[in-house]
């Protein structure tokens, strides 16, 4: 698979690079960013953390705003940040910020016109990791994390693929999309009106039924404007209690939904993932 390097920046002894490639899964040109820590200079293969961003974001938001690269360099972890949706002139879109471009929701769409391009679940689970493994000096160890819509994506992907990930974490995830406006709008469009098909993309539903566990860490700001209507962390905690899932959910007074929140606690998440990535 051919990829094109778009930019290179040295950071904390490692390299932040941005690439584009033609995605067969999404039927369009996609962009992603990768941070390669300085440990690769010795010929070592490093584990990978996949970061999934939220509504309206691209591959750039996390890399530029989260303050994660210094810690990733110390821990020897590569970070891969894909875009949040398919892009292109022929890709279906919506006037709202919460559907279409920038709002792929990490599902495989089954409804027209979305089903031609919007297969972000398969892209994140299969195509992108295969590309990363074939192109960069990374090991078979991988973890996954995300924010808001990306937190929803990270949790559902890890819950559905526990053999693929050593750990999962999320900031302000959309925890119960079956029962919130963002989820109801996106799932109705992408998946159709049969709500039974939505359950495979709902972290709370999946966690409640889980029998294989991936250690999970979630941070939530108590002053998040979306807390009550959209995010519903209490549903996730209830699901974990029901199944005995190893979830740590931290509620932080005064913090909101922004990257100020993410940057305040990202070091703890990277160290959480490093602990599990480094286990034999």
Measured at the CA of 157, the angle between CA 227 and CA 27, to 5 degrees, comes to: 105
In sequence order, what DSSP letters do the residues of the chain get, joined into one string? --EEEEEEEEETTEEEEEEEEEETTTTEEEEEEEEE-GGGGGT--EEEEEEE--TT--SHHHHHHS--HHHHHHHT-EEEEE-SS--STTS---SSTTSBTTB-TT-B--STTGGGT-BHHHIIIIIHHHHHHHHS-EEEEEEEEEETHHHHHHHHHHHH-TTT-S-EEEES----GGGSHHHHHHHHHHH-S-GGGGGGG-HHHHHHH-SS---EEEEEETT-TTIIIII-HHHHHHHHHHHT--EEEEEETT--SSHHHHHHHHHHHHHHHHHHHT--
Residue 86 CA to residue 103 CA, distance in Å, equals 9
Q: Do 33 and 81 meet the contact criterion of CB atoms below 8 Å apart?
A: yes
276 and 166 Cβ atoms separated by less than 8 Å: yes
Query: CA–CA separation, 239 vs 244, rounded Å?
Result: 8
- Let me know if 41 is a catalytic residue: no
Taking a C-beta distance cutoff of 8 angstroms, is the pair 172, 145 a contact?
no
Instruction: Give dist(CA 58, CA 9) in Å, integer.
Output: 18
Per-residue pLDDT of the chain (280 residues), as tens digits, is 689 999 999 999 999 999 999 999 999 999 999 999 999 998 889 999 999 999 999 999 999 999 999 999 999 999 999 999 999 999 999 999 999 999 999 999 999 999 999 999 999 999 999 999 999 999 999 999 999 999 999 999 999 999 999 999 999 999 999 999 999 999 999 999 999 999 999 999 999 999 999 999 999 999 999 999 999 999 999 999 999 999 999 999 999 999 999 999 999 999 999 999 998 5
Considering the candidates 23, 53, 85, 148, report the single residue annotated as catalytic: 148
Residue 263: predicted pLDDT: 98
CB 72 within 8 A of CB 15: no
pLDDT (0 to 100) of residue 1:
66
Active site residue 257: yes
Active site residue 117: no
CA distance 18 to 5: 6
- Tallying the residues shown for the chain, one arrives at 280
Among 117, 119, 147, 257, which one carries the catalytic annotation?
257
Strand 3-11, strand 138-147: pairing: unpaired
What pLDDT is attached to residue 280?
Answer: 57
pTM over 0.85, yes/no: yes
* Residue from 167, 224, 269, 273 carrying the catalytic annotation: 224
């Amino acid at each position: 698979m051919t990829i094109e390097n778009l930019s290179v920046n040295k950071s904390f002894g490692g390299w932040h690079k941005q690439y584009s490639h033609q995605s067969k899964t999404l039927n369009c040109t996609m962009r992603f960013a990768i941070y390669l820590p300085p440990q690769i200079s010795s010929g070592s293969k490093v584990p990978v953390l996949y970061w999934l961003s939220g509504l309206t974001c691209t591959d750039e938001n996390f890399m530029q705003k989260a303050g994660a690269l210094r810690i990733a360099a110390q821990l020897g972890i590569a970070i891969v940040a894909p875009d949040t949706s398919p892009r292109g002139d022929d890709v279906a879109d919506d006037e709202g910020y919460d559907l279409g471009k920038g709002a792929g929701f990490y599902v495989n769409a089954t409804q027209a016109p979305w089903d031609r391009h919007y297969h972000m679940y398969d892209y994140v689970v299969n195509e992108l990791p295969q590309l990363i493994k074939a192109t960069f000096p990374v090991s078979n160890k991988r973890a996954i994390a995300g924010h808001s819509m990306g937190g929803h994506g990270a949790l559902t992907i890890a819950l559905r693929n526990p053999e693929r990930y050593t750990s999962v974490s999320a900031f302000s995830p959309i925890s119960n999309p079956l029962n919130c406006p963002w989820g109801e709008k996106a799932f109705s469009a992408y998946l159709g009106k049969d709500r039974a098909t939505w359950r495979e993309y709902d972290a709370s539903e999946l966690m409640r039924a889980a029998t294989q566990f991936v250690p999970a860490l979630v941070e939530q700001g108590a002053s998040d404007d979306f807390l009550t209507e959209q995010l519903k962390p209490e549903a996730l905690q209830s699901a974990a209690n029901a199944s005995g899932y190893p979830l740590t959910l931290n509620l932080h007074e005064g913090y909101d939904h922004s990257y100020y929140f993410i940057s305040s606690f990202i070091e703890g998440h990277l160290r959480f993932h490093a602990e599990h990535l480094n286990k034999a």
